[in-house]
Amino acid sequence: MSHTKNVAEGFVAAASAIWLLLCAWVSSTVNLWLGLGAFLFLAIPFAGRVILLLKNLKVKTTIQTRVKQAKNALMSLQGIAFACWFFDVISTVFVLNIQRSGDELNILGWPYSALGALAFYVPVTFAAYYLLFKVKSKESFYATAALTVVSIFIGLMNLNAGLLNLTQLYTFNLSMEDFVIFGIWLAIMASLSVFNVLAIVKRAKPFAKAEVN
């Protein structure tokens, strides 16, 4: 379960960074103050989470703990690919299903094209878990690192596809479709903000205990 949490934490962190980019896009194309307000709403807890993470890395630990942290970090990196895939799927829904302002270019067609990436990401994540925590060797660690690089590279392709989808969204004119898109965007952003706050509370507890001791 803890390894699943690592992947989820990586997903939330990567998705938060992507949604901050979306806030910048909203500021430049839709409404400056709406995008800026949303940016700050998500950026503040996300920045706090990053600061606590950096503080945690500075704490002196044993070699065994560092190895465990490195393995957990590799599991967390699997979440980056899932976050990029999620953004691609959501942006595709915006364009094809809600605003109907673009065409599907993938030969598999929508929504089957979305399952194609999962057919790679899910097995790679399980393979990473097996190599890191079952095989437990230097070679398996390096093999996981190589798999992670490939997974992130493919994830970046999903991210690029999602960004291209944004160019297919026409000018917003306060239609029902536009409100639906903004509602989904704001709901996801609010959820990411909550998850970042929860991560801050979780990471802040060890520091509070250390100060008491």
**For residues 61-75, b (16+ Cβ closer than 10 Å) or e, as one string?**
eeeeeeeeeebbebb
Distance CA 83, CA 156 (A): 10
pLDDT at 114: 76
Please report, in tens digits, the pLDDT of each residue of the chain (213 residues total). 577 889 999 999 999 999 999 888 888 887 788 889 999 999 999 999 888 888 776 766 777 778 888 888 999 999 999 999 999 999 988 888 888 766 666 656 677 777 888 889 999 999 999 998 888 788 899 999 999 999 999 999 999 988 988 887 766 666 788 888 888 999 999 999 999 999 888 876 654 554 444
Do the Cβ atoms of 88 and 159 come closer than 8 Å?
Answer: yes
Do the Cβ atoms of 184 and 90 come closer than 8 Å?
Answer: yes
pLDDT at 52: 84
pLDDT at 102: 63
The one-letter code for the residue type at 56 is N
**For residues 149-187, b (16+ Cβ closer than 10 Å) or e, as one string?**
eebbebbeebbebbbebbeebeebeeeebbeebbeebee
Distance CA 125, CA 181 (A): 31
Q: Which residues contact 161 (CB under 8 A, 6 or more apart)?
A: 88, 91, 92
Distance CA 131, CA 128 (A): 5
pLDDT at 41: 93
Distance CA 87, CA 15 (A): 8
Do the Cβ atoms of 21 and 162 come closer than 8 Å?
Answer: no
pLDDT at 125: 93
